[in-house]
A and B are shown apart, each in its own frame.
Chain A
């Protein structure tokens, strides 16, 4: 117990939040692997409270006069912590199935005593890392507890209630994590509702708790809830410190999540902005985080700027490379069959990351590139101007060319064997090129100004009776230099 209390006073003397947070870490530091064991063995349930408050008082530097509420609060926290350690050790050392639910419940007590410490005003804002540690591990224990339950029950929970109208519901699948989300939400409220002057306000904990909530909501597959948090944040933006003044890790994570939320809402311009700044601010050595950011930024840029990742960009991240390289190559070449193969092969991964439905739209770019090639293959007239009238059947031939070898299912059903006769589907695809409007972001100087214009992929019109496409003489393929 003395060890713990010495750590406590040391952190207090230093005024170091991280050191203080380390005193309630459920993971032993590498330098002291027996820490949890030692603390747990030091006392028992009967005397835990007395032991802690005694040790806290005893080890206190006489020079520092601490008011009593602090001792009380920390006695409560460390007592809850001691019980949690007991549950953790039991789970880790058991030979049978570890009971993470018990760990979760015990840790929830730790989190609640910490929250109480803040709401009663005893804990100051420099101790916020304590809140972070409590919240962070609450989430991980909740996930473990739910996995526990799922493994033991296996399958959908059927309600047994007499009053339920219908047979089944899938509630209870993430029971503990949902519970954890509520506790973390209280932490968030604790921070956002603090009216103290900024320098001593808990508002500094806002982005950390927000990120923790986002993480939890994403895991729970209820991303919609994140929007409430964003709304609350923007409502109190005026009396919050500027985003830039928060610790960089908080900002990067926050921007990443906002970017992904916007991405899923199909607000690609906002997604681009947030993900780009997350990417720029992210620590270069945080490979995993950069991968995560890029896995959304790449599809976003594909749509907003028709930009494809260069091999150089992908090279440090083999995982991203294998994910995006085939698709990128297909688009660049304008090969529809290669595109279809790539997206079919990557479907599982893409769907898992929720980028499939966005990447799918890259097919338009792929097709545009193909049609552009057809145009460029055309003859030049005497004045050096390119022929802007292109037969539909030429486009059709180009599309079919790519497909002949491929095993694509889908759009070529009627084209096979009826070449030249029915090009209605090709017309339809060309019509889409002319009709579809995509955002074109143009950045004039890096990270200074971004203009989003909406443009068609192709300019011109179809003259159906004559079976030709009349392309615009100026910039038939906007944004491609032609």
Chain B
């Protein structure tokens, strides 16, 4: 018979809530796991549970489970629970994928072997979860002696010498564990305690344990584990906030997920891979121009840089490129995030194009009409920076607007270095309305549309006429002597409302 716990995930009706991913189902099941004796060692079937989850498991799967629980296959370093979880995962996965019949269960590595393999890849010193033994005093002891040499040697060997049978190196308190659980239940006096753990407390402590374990793994990059457990290492317990992760992923692409726990080195790409990724993304952007894809990819790229504490010229260029792409697509939120980071990066003198982005910053604050920030930018500029063509252009744009010199402003607009025009586009319409209002009040009785087109930096008369019409001013356009004229004397304050609306405060998320 099969423990109920294994059948659970594939029988949604037996679960209070349908499980969507393997992980959730695992944690949901935990509470039932403990009291149910393992298959190989239980002569009697688990009571009602088995009936409920009646399912005809193939003989091969049953054998596989039996082998997994067999005493001789127990690996000391792997707590039983972890093995069980793995086992359930394997079976439920294959059940979900309908591969139960196709897998060669006899040859499939046992769960504990898979776990060992997984661990071997990063070659980590793994914190053996003391709770796995279910013996609290001992687990305490383990935590306390953790840093002693003998123990660490043992653990290391049991983790690293995979080919050997770790049995003789198993710490004494683990000897009990390899015996089957059922025996434990009978012979050990702390049965009640065990029951407690299996009850409500277990899922929590397991959760903590998993977290701790994960943190430990992440904090210890693979190659370090080759060295003896140095006291300094022991004195600084690895934590979320500690030290950079060193990535091991080789994938060029990666979807972005906001981190909710410490990063997993397996999914983090090291610098050489990231460099390739950037090239790849640049090409892809040129070819496909798919912004939502590229933004997502850049965010994960940035995340990988961050968790590995990579702060080089490469980092700068990643942020710069992302900022430029965001700018091109008018994604100010993302652009702002990059701009904030770039500001900090530039202050470290890592290279890149600080002047270009300072200029963007100025243009951006023109857009947001943020005087306080504008003042701060001006305060930060050095005389050298002020002479840079891009910065100078932005400063000129600022001062011409401050003084209402639309004539010069639109000349500057038509001659914007780098990608500043994308930013200027955001406020050019409102400045045109301002100039239009101005001209309507100052000029009498009319002006040629041509004049208007030229002064306000439109590309053609058509475009400027459309702009006027878009704001309801078609009645002020008149054709006379083969020329279109704008009847400014009549329009007077007509465009004021539109102008005032356009100048209402700009509010953008992610603003610095």
Interface residues of A (CB under 8 A from B): 155-156, 158, 160-170, 221, 223-224, 264, 266, 347, 351-352, 354, 356-357, 360-361, 363-364, 410-411, 413-414, 424-425, 427-432, 434-436, 461-464, 470
- Asked if residues B344 and A169 are in contact (CB atoms below 8 Å), the reply is yes
Contacts of B303 in A (CB 8 A): 165
Interface residues of B (CB under 8 A from A): 218, 240-243, 245, 258-263, 302-303, 305-307, 309, 311, 315, 319, 337, 340-341, 344-345, 347-348, 371-372, 374-376, 378-379, 396, 399-400, 402-408, 411, 437-439, 441-445, 447, 451, 454-455
- Asked if residues A428 and B455 are in contact (CB atoms below 8 Å), the reply is yes
Bound Cα distance from A327 to B242, whole angstroms: 55
Contacts of B372 in A (CB 8 A): 223-224, 264, 354
- Asked if residues A425 and B305 are in contact (CB atoms below 8 Å), the reply is no
Bound Cα distance from A163 to B261, whole angstroms: 7
Bound Cα distance from A436 to B434, whole angstroms: 11
- Asked if residues A461 and B262 are in contact (CB atoms below 8 Å), the reply is no
Count, A-B residue pairs, CB within 8 A: 137
* Residue among A166, A361, A424, A429 with max Cβ neighbours from chain B (10 Å): A166
Top 9 nearest A-B pairs by Cβ distance?
A168-B344, A431-B442, A428-B407, A461-B444, A435-B438, A432-B404, A434-B442, A425-B407, A351-B379
Task: Using known A-B contacts A163-B240, A410-B408, determine if residue A464 contacts B443 with beta carbons closer than 8 Å.
Answer: yes
Contacts of B258 in A (CB 8 A): 165
Which of B241, B378, B411, B441 interacts with A356 by CB under 8 Å? B378
Shortest Cβ gap from B382 to chain A (Å) = 11
- Asked if residues A351 and B375 are in contact (CB atoms below 8 Å), the reply is yes
- Asked if residues A156 and B375 are in contact (CB atoms below 8 Å), the reply is no
Q: Which residue of A lies closest to B307 (CB)?
A: A162
Contacts of B305 in A (CB 8 A): 167
Contacts of A360 in B (CB 8 A): 399, 402-403
24 CB contacts below 8 A, A to B, read A162-B240, A162-B259, A162-B262, A163-B260, A163-B261, A165-B258, A166-B306, A264-B372, A351-B375, A351-B379, A356-B375, A357-B374, A357-B375, A411-B405, A425-B407, A425-B408, A428-B405, A431-B441, A432-B438, A434-B442, A435-B437, A462-B443, A463-B444, A464-B447
- Asked if residues A410 and B399 are in contact (CB atoms below 8 Å), the reply is yes
Which of B241, B261, B454 interacts with A161 by CB under 8 Å? B241
- Asked if residues A165 and B405 are in contact (CB atoms below 8 Å), the reply is no
Task: Using known A-B contacts A425-B408, A435-B441, A464-B447, determine if residue A167 contacts B379 with beta carbons closer than 8 Å.
Answer: no
Task: Using known A-B contacts A162-B240, A163-B240, A356-B375, determine if residue A430 contacts B442 with beta carbons closer than 8 Å.
Answer: yes
Which of B261, B337, B403, B408 interacts with A363 by CB under 8 Å? B403
Q: Which residue of B lies closest to A224 (CB)?
A: B372
Which of A165, A410, A424, A430 interacts with B396 by CB under 8 Å? A410
Task: Using known A-B contacts A357-B371, A360-B402, A425-B407, determine if residue A164 contacts B306 with beta carbons closer than 8 Å.
Answer: yes
Bound Cα distance from A464 to B449, whole angstroms: 12
Shortest Cβ gap from B205 to chain A (Å) = 23
Shortest Cβ gap from B12 to chain A (Å) = 34
Bound Cα distance from A413 to B392, whole angstroms: 14
- Asked if residues B406 and A166 are in contact (CB atoms below 8 Å), the reply is no
Contacts of A430 in B (CB 8 A): 442
Bound Cα distance from A428 to B407, whole angstroms: 6
- Asked if residues B442 and A425 are in contact (CB atoms below 8 Å), the reply is no
Bound Cα distance from A470 to B442, whole angstroms: 10
Bound Cα distance from A161 to B240, whole angstroms: 7
- Asked if residues B371 and A264 are in contact (CB atoms below 8 Å), the reply is yes
Shortest Cβ gap from B219 to chain A (Å) = 9
Shortest Cβ gap from B512 to chain A (Å) = 10
Shortest Cβ gap from B108 to chain A (Å) = 35
Bound Cα distance from A161 to B303, whole angstroms: 12
- Asked if residues B378 and A351 are in contact (CB atoms below 8 Å), the reply is yes
